Amino acid sequence: MADGSSPPGPDPVGPAPAVRPFLVTAGRVTAGHSGRTMPVETQVVATTEGLDALARLSFEQHDIVAACRLPQSIAELAARLRLHLNVVRVLAEDLRAEGQLTVHVPDSDATHDATVLRRLIDGLRAIPDSRKVPRDNGDNG
């Protein structure tokens, strides 16, 4: 927290790993044979095979598959597991290649479409502002 104290409750993922990222990925910095990295918004979901293989996976792979019982983005996984973003990218690609994760890469044309951004902004503006809610002035008596 800002004052240096810990947030309330137990830490859900434990302390940050002390292993260097290049050891976890065996020195690889790009995922797969394509050499292309997954966008941070890529959604990953554990497969049945992945969940069945949890006991046989390395620590980091285990944590990624276990966290992906529900869809997670690469960025969310990195933050949640306190792993370097590129480590998560490389390991997620390995897990995808082994059939333990399903990967859903967003359509790059849609993510760069200005109309999508405009609709998002319009939608946010349409949300009622909670500061404009009438206050109770004591006349409700």
Q: Residue 2: pLDDT above 80?
A: no
- SS3 assignment, position 37: coil
54-82 pLDDT, tens digit per residue, is 999 988 899 999 999 999 999 999 899 88
Closest CA to 47 of 98, 13, 7: 98
Q: Cβ distance 83 to 74 under 8 Å?
A: no
Q: Residue 52: pLDDT above 90?
A: yes
User: CA–CA distance from 27 to each of 22, 32, 107 (Å)?
Assistant: 4, 13, 29
